Structure formats: structure tokens, C-alpha cells
């Protein structure tokens, strides 16, 4: 590992950069709608005595976030009439997504659980607009700064995102208690103004259009039927995938495998966390105070530390530390399952879990950002972000069966072992790029 050329003081001052600060507000805008169409919405529905079966169907709204790669090429290339000409490609799509989120939340507040069909359609509008905003924000984050700053941009984004989750989770529940559900959703819809103002204040990043990309697109078009629609399809949809495999060759398959397994341990364990706390005998107030509020600050701390280390050391060493830490914290949960329910034990394990989780997430997002060709930023990153969650979500569906069959201790040990392939693949990635570059600088070759 070689120092990336920044002093510790320079690495720490990265968080004073204007675009890094702006990412916190964009992260808030991205995180706000998430819970409002998931757990917070289910609380509203159950509070209005909607059946559990009907509530379960609302989970399908979340599929929207996992298939956003399907319309990412449109966000990457298609202008929004005069709006794009005035404020740029990334900012115009962010603004359109925010308008859709705000409108959808207001419509949800008006219709409420009185008509579940229309409520589900408006929730889908929020989720679709939110996923669209995510595509544009991810592309902006990657294009706005150099790779060395991606860790700090990720940490800032995660901070804003986590604050938004508190607002849309605990904050919305408090508002609903005192103002009613409709008013709570209306207030949070107005909070999207934070993101809209940020979009108007930031500058559009410069997009890289390489001749090599243009020639590649022309070659693809020549192999397909002629016509403007086919030419657009080749440039917006086919070329991003061809470019990724052209730049990485057969090793692209190893990279995609790594992306798909990095969060397996984290996601598989996460769905059983709250049931585990309750089954161990911890109270709801214990879970709220330690796992939610205290855990929030530890996640932010992990993200901030990783952001500095990515600037100082590059991407790969923090990525390795994060992979090891996430797998190891599952062992801490296994030990916790054997102990009496003491709040101090819970605090220690939650601290380790959230610190490592925030650290690993920041390193991973920085790595994914470094993989993209900035001529196809939105489409390629949407592919990566979709791939990183789908396998974990699938495997996590079996977590309850493992707990019922073997117990929590065995479950957490298995969850930790699931993280082993990610550690091995990070070492393979480090070796590959050490060989592929002139000396190991911690950054992948483009």
C-alpha cells in the first residue's frame, strides 16, 4: 500500500469542499422518500387497521429500486426539453425526480388508506421518482469530483441519507402522533425543498465524451439496423455494457461477482436484527435508543473515518478493512446471543456493527464509483447498485428458516462466513490492479 499523496491535514479538510457538503443535502433528498413507502407506510396502514395481507403487497413497491437500471439509460442520455438546456442533464433529472416524490407524497396524504389501489399507485410514483433521483444523484456524485474524493462524497451522502431516515422514520411517527398521518406526510413532502434548493445552487459537472466511446458506439450501430432510434439504443443502452467489458476484459466477471457478494453478510444479517433483539429480551426503548439513535451516530463515524482514509490510502485497503470488519461483527452478534440481555453488551455490539457497516458502505460506494466510465455514468452505476442488493435480498429470505432450524448463534456464524468470499475477492482485486497499474496506487486504471 502506498500513500496517495495527501497529508492527514489535507485528507481531513476534504469535508470542507463545497461539493462534498452539497452531497449531504442531496443524500437527505435521496433518503427521505425511502421509508415513507416502506416501514413508515406500513405503520400508517396498520394504524388504520388495514389487514396484514394487504400490507404485505406494498412491499412490491420496493422492487422499483432494484430495477432502476432499466431506465437509467434514459436518465443518462435523454434531455428534458428546455430544463436540461437551462440547468444541465444531471440537475434537470434530479429536479424532476424531486417533483415526482413531493407530488406523490402529497397525493398519498390526501387519499390515505381509504383507497388502497390509488394509494399503491401514488406510492409507486414516489418510489419510481425516488429511484430516478438516485440515478441522477449517483451520476452527479461520480462526475463532480476525482476518484480520491469519492470516499468523502460517499460519507457525506450517507450522512444526509441517514438523517433523512431518522426524519422519515422516528420523525414521521412523532408527527403522526401529534398532527395526524396526512399532515405528517405533507410536512415531509415539503422537506423535499432542501433537495430542490441544493440542485439549483450546485453547478452541473462536466461530462466526458471520449472519441473512443463515440467510435465504439458507431461500430455497434453499424452492426444493428440503421435509424435514429437504434442509434440511440446503441449509445445509451448497449454501449455502457460493452464499454465495461471492453475495459476490464474477462476480469469484468470477477468484478461483477465481487459486487454481488460484498453485501451478502450485511443484508442476510440485517433482516433478523430486530427479531433477535426482541427475542433476547431487550425492550423497544432499548432497541430505539441503542440500535437506532446510538447506531446512527456510529454509522456516521464509520463513514467519516473511511472517507478520510480513501483520500489518504486509496480505495482498496479501506475496502478490505470494511469487508473483514462486516464479517467479524457477525461473530460479535453470535457471542451476544449467548449472554444475558445487558444494555452495555448491546451497546458494544451495536457500536461495532454500525461503525463497520458505515465504513464498509462508504468504501464500497467509492469503489463502485471508480469503476464507471464517465461517458456512461448513470447506466453503469445503476447496474452496479442493482447488482449489489439483489443476491442479498434473495438470500435474506431464508434467514428466518436458518434461525428456526438452528438458532441465532449458528445463524450469525453462517452470516459471518458468507462474508468470506468478499474478503478473498478484495485481495484478488488488489493484486489485479497492482499488476495492471505502474505500481499500486490504490486506484483502478480507467
User: Residue by residue, what is the 3-state secondary structure of 256-293?
Assistant: HHHHHHCCHHHHHHHCCHHHHHHHHCCCHHHHHHHHHH
Say how far apart CA 124 and CA 128 lie, in whole Å.
Answer: 6
**Residue-level pLDDT at 290:** 77
As a whole number of angstroms, the longest Cα–Cα distance in the chain is 70
Q: What percent of the chain has pLDDT over 70?
A: 86
Burial 426-445 (b: 16+ CB within 10 A, else e): beebbebbeeeeeebbbbbe
**Residue-level pLDDT at 155:** 86
Contact 104, 34 (CB under 8 A): no
CA 399 to chain centre: 22
Higher pLDDT residue, 293 or 309? 309
How many other CB atoms are found less than 10 A from the CB of residue 383? 22
**Residue-level pLDDT at 445:** 42
Say how far apart CA 30 and CA 18 lie, in whole Å.
Answer: 18
Average pLDDT for residues 39-45, to the nearest whole number?
A: 83
Q: Which structural domains are found in the chain, ordered by start?
A: 8-201 (1.20.1250.20), 250-436 (1.20.1250.20)
Q: Which residues contact 374 (CB under 8 A, 6 or more apart)?
A: 142, 143, 207, 208
Say how far apart CA 238 and CA 221 lie, in whole Å.
Answer: 10
pLDDT band at 101 (very low <50, low <70, confident <90, very high): very high
pLDDT band at 145 (very low <50, low <70, confident <90, very high): confident
**Residue-level pLDDT at 428:** 95
Higher pLDDT residue, 404 or 185? 185
3-state secondary structure 174-217: HHHHHHCHHHHHHHHHHCCHHHHHHHHHCCCCCCCCCHHHHHHH
Give the residue among 144, 164, 165, 162 at the shortest CA–CA distance from 153. 144
* Residue entry with cell 495492471: 436
Burial 142-178 (b: 16+ CB within 10 A, else e): bbbbebbbbbbbbbbbbbbbbbbbebbbbbbbebbee
**Residue-level pLDDT at 92:** 97
Which of 1-15, 41-55, 324-338: highest mean pLDDT? 324-338
Say how far apart CA 169 and CA 316 lie, in whole Å.
Answer: 34
Contact 318, 309 (CB under 8 A): yes
**Residue-level pLDDT at 215:** 55
74-88, 154-168, 387-401: which range is least confident on average?
Answer: 387-401
115-124, 171-180, 272-281, 419-428: which range is least confident on average?
Answer: 272-281
pLDDT band at 440 (very low <50, low <70, confident <90, very high): very low
Average pLDDT for residues 287-295, to the nearest whole number?
A: 73
* Arithmetic mean of pLDDT over the chain: 85
Burial 360-381 (b: 16+ CB within 10 A, else e): bbbbbbbbbbbbbbbbbbbbbb
Measure Cα distances from 430 to 122, 126, 345 in Å: 45, 39, 36
pLDDT at 444 over 50: no
Q: Which residues contact 14 (CB under 8 A, 6 or more apart)?
A: 20, 149, 152, 307, 308, 311
**Residue-level pLDDT at 222:** 56
CA 239 to chain centre: 24
Q: List, for residues 227-243, the tens digit of each pLDDT value.
A: 666 666 666 677 888 88
Q: Which residues contact 146 (CB under 8 A, 6 or more apart)?
A: none
Q: List, for residues 318-349, the tens digit of each pLDDT value.
A: 999 999 999 999 999 999 999 998 888 989 99
**Residue-level pLDDT at 442:** 46
Backbone region of residue 20 per phi and psi (left: phi > 0; alpha: psi in -120 to 50; beta: other values):
alpha
Average pLDDT for residues 31-54, to the nearest whole number?
A: 84
**Residue-level pLDDT at 239:** 83
- CA 370, 14, 158, 64 torsion-angle sign: negative
Contact 246, 236 (CB under 8 A): no
Higher pLDDT residue, 385 or 235? 385
Higher pLDDT residue, 125 or 346? 125
pLDDT band at 80 (very low <50, low <70, confident <90, very high): very high
Q: Which residues contact 267 (CB under 8 A, 6 or more apart)?
A: 389, 392, 393, 395, 396
pLDDT at 54 over 90: no
Could you report how far apart the first and last alpha carbons of the chain are, in Å? 19
Higher pLDDT residue, 200 or 169? 200
Grid coordinates representing 264?
A: 451478502
pLDDT band at 64 (very low <50, low <70, confident <90, very high): confident
| Phi, psi for residue 281 in degrees, rounded to 5 | 105, 5
pLDDT at 439 over 60: no
Higher pLDDT residue, 326 or 16? 326
Amino acid at each position: 500500500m502506498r500513500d496517495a499523496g495527501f497529508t492527514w491535514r489535507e485528507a481531513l479538510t476534504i469535508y470542507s469542499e463545497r461539493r462534498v457538503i452539497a452531497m449531504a443535502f442531496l443524500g437527505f433528498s435521496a433518503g427521505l422518500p425511502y421509508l415513507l413507502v416502506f416501514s413508515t407506510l406500513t405503520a400508517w396502514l396498520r394504524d388504520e387497521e388495514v389487514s396484514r395481507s394487504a400490507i404485505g403487497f406494498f412491499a412490491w413497491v420496493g422492487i422499483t429500486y432494484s430495477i432502476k437500471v432499466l431506465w437509467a439509460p434514459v436518465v443518462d442520455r435523454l434531455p428534458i426539453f428546455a430544463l436540461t438546456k437551462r440547468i444541465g442533464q444531471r440537475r434537470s433529472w434530479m429536479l424532476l425526480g424531486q417533483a415526482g416524490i413531493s407530488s406523490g407524497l402529497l397525493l398519498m396524504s390526501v387519499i390515505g388508506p381509504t383507497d388502497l389501489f390509488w394509494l399503491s399507485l401514488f406510492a409507486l410514483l414516489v418510489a419510481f421518482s425516488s429511484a430516478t433521483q438516485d440515478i441522477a444523484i449517483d451520476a452527479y456524485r461520480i462526475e463532480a469530483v476525482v476518484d480520491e474524493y469519492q470516499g468523502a462524497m460517499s460519507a457525506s451522502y450517507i450522512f444526509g441519507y441517514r438523517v433523512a431516515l431518522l426524519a422519515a422514520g422516528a420523525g414521521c411517527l412523532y408527527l403522526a402522533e401529534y398532527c395526524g398521518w396526512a399532515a405528517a406526510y405533507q410536512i415531509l413532502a415539503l422537506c423535499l425543498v432542501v433537495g430542490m434548493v441544493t440542485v439549483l445552487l450546485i453547478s452541473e459537472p462536466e461530462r466526458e465524451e471520449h472519441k473512443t466511446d463515440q467510435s465504439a458506439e458507431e461500430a455497434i450501430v453499424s452492426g444493428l439496423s440503421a435509424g435514429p432510434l437504434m442509434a440511440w439504443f446503441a449509445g445509451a443502452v448497449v454501449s455502457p455494457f460493452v464499454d465495461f467489458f471492453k475495459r476490464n476484459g474477462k476480469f469484468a466477471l470477477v468484478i461483477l461477482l465481487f459486487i454481488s457478494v460484498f453485501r451478502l453478510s450485511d443484508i442476510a444479517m440485517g433482516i433478523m436484527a430486530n427479531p433477535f433483539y426482541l427475542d433476547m429480551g431487550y425492550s423497544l426503548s432499548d432497541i430505539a435508543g441503542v440500535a437506532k439513535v446510538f447506531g446512527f451516530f456510529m454509522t456516521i463515524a464509520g463513514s467519516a473515518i473511511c472517507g478520510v482514509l480513501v483520500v489518504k490510502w486509496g480505495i482498496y485497503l479501506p475496502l478490505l478493512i470494511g469487508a473483514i470488519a462486516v464479517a467479524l461483527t457477525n461473530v460479535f452478534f453470535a457471542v451476544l446471543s449467548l449472554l444475558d440481555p445487558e444494555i452495555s453488551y448491546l451497546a458494544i455490539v451495536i457500536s461495532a456493527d454500525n461503525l463497520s457497516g458505515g465504513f464498509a458502505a462508504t468504501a464500497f460506494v467509492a469503489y463502485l464509483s471508480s469503476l464507471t466510465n464517465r461517458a456512461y455514468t448513470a447506466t453503469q452505476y445503476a447496474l452496479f447498485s442493482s447488482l449489489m442488493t439483489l443476491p442479498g435480498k434473495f438470500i435474506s429470505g431464508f434467514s428466518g428458516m436458518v434461525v428456526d432450524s438452528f438458532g441465532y448463534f449458528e445463524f450469525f456464524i453462517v452470516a459471518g462466513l458468507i462474508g468470506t468470499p468478499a474478503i478473498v475477492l478484495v485481495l484478488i482485486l488488489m493484486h489485479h490492479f497492482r499488476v495492471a497499474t505502474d505500481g499500486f496506487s490504490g486506484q483502478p486504471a480507467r
